[in-house]
Amino acid sequence: MASELCKTISVARLEKHKNLFLNYRNLHHFPLELLKDEGLQYLERLYMKRNSLTTLPENLAQKLPNLVELYLHSNNIVVVPEAIGSLVKLQCLDLSDNALEIVCPEIGRLRALRHLRLANNQLQFLPPEVGDLKELQTLDISTNRLLSLPERLHLCLSLQYLTVDRNRLRCVPRHLCHLPSLNELSMAGNRLAFLPLDLGRSRELQYVYVDNNIHLKGLPSYLYNKVIGCSGFELSVSNLVTQKSPGAAALPPGALSPV
């Protein structure tokens, strides 16, 4: 297996490959062959899914300076080194299904990042620097232990898809209502009791999923004519009218049908 791995990397270096697939290799450590000499200067996409990696090398950006996509799905990574912020060309980072407890603030230096996937980890919070990701379009932080979202998240002006399912959120931060590009918001399986009255005011926001929030009793009137997922809790037009917050209008019959 080791000799086969060395051969694969050597060929990639010799032929200046842009894509390298190292999935399902039972790797416990980042291959040193990738970091030898000048590394793989031409490599743009590195796939290392379903291994047993626990960390990343500090000189990753130095040896793989042109990485655009890095896929590390289903490993055992606990900490992402600060050096990750030096991968200035990175557009896609997938760290789903690891053991992450902390995302370092340096993540905010990935100014070209468009897709960030952190689902199925052990995160309790995100650093405020996530708000510096101006090009970010997709953020998946589902199935973690998040109690809140960073205030600066509303500065992600390109964010279109936000998935925060199966966390421990009790409310939707009102500043999310002001994300100008947000098209889909999914917060199913949390502990939500209410939603901001402004949610759905943006014409860009078309899909809202709040299924399985058992304490949620009302929906903002702006969600009328949106696609809404709201199964798994007691909500009807009648109790929406009687329990709605001041100034919130009731939705017409049929608007609360589960998607």
What tens digit of pLDDT does each residue of 127-178 get?
A: 999 999 999 999 999 999 999 999 999 999 999 999 999 999 999 989 999 9
pLDDT computed for residue 235 by the predictor: 55
Q: Which amino acid is at 241?
A: V
Q: Which of 46, 105, 97 is nearest to 71 (CA)?
A: 46
What is the token pair recorded at 73? 């799905």
Output the DSSP codes for 174-225: GGGGG-TT--EEE-TTS---B--TTTT-SSS--EEE-TT-TT-----GGGTT
Greater model confidence, 204 or 241: 204
- Percent of the chain scoring above 70 in pLDDT: 89
Domains and CATH numbers, the chain: 1-155 (3.80.10.10), 169-259 (3.80.10.10)
Q: Which of 135, 200, 97, 157 is nearest to 209 (CA)?
A: 200
Q: Where are the alpha helices (DSSP H) in the chain?
A: 2-14, 60-63, 237-243
What tens digit of pLDDT does each residue of 71-95 get?
A: 999 999 998 888 899 999 999 999 9
